[in-house]
Amino acid sequence: MTSHTSILSVIDDSHLFRSLDPVGREKLLDAASVVHFGGGRVIVREGDLGCALFLVKEGRVRITMMIDGEIIELARLGRGGCFGEVAVLSQKPRTATVVADEDCTLLRFSREAVEDVLNEYPKVMQLLESLVQGRARDTIEKIMG
């Protein structure tokens, strides 16, 4: 069972959400659902519609993209790492596939919950946009390199 305190600690550890005040963290906490994935399991698939952002509570995930029939690894994320932000912000299909490297516990936030936080806390929106831009640059480098 995942406790309120352990979920809140992941939110606090997240670069994206640590700027929230206590009220904002509690709102985000209330919106979180805890999901589990076994190692090797696909969490989200490139091309699928994305209606949620995820935050890694425990375990590690691997993010990949298919380019010209070849799987390119974009990143590996552990505790506090987030993914799914591009699809949530753009309301377009997922740009990458995310697979559990090992058994994982994730916090899932619906698009609506994320939008509520972004509307109330512009600094989080700035951080999220910065994260998206940084990941886009990293992806281009990996594709071109």
Which pLDDT score, from 0 to 100, does residue 2 have?
A: 56
Q: Give the domain ranges of the chain.
A: 4-139
Higher pLDDT, 137 or 67: 67
Can you tell me the mean pLDDT for 123-135? Answer: 71
Q: Rounded distance, CA 5 to CA 9, Å?
A: 6
pLDDT band at 145; cut points 50, 70, 90? low
Q: Which residue has the tokens 């987030």?
A: 82
- For 1-28, b/e burial (b = at least 16 CB within 10 A) is eeeeeebbebbeebebbeebeeebbebb
Write down the CATH number for the domain with range 4-139. 2.60.120.10
Model-level pTM? Answer: 0.82
Distances (CA, A) of 39 to 60, 101, 105: 9, 5, 11
Which pLDDT score, from 0 to 100, does residue 103 have?
A: 97
Cα angle 96-142-64, degrees, rounded to a multiple of 5:
25
* Per-residue model confidence as pLDDT tens digits over 9-38: 888 777 777 778 888 888 888 889 999 999
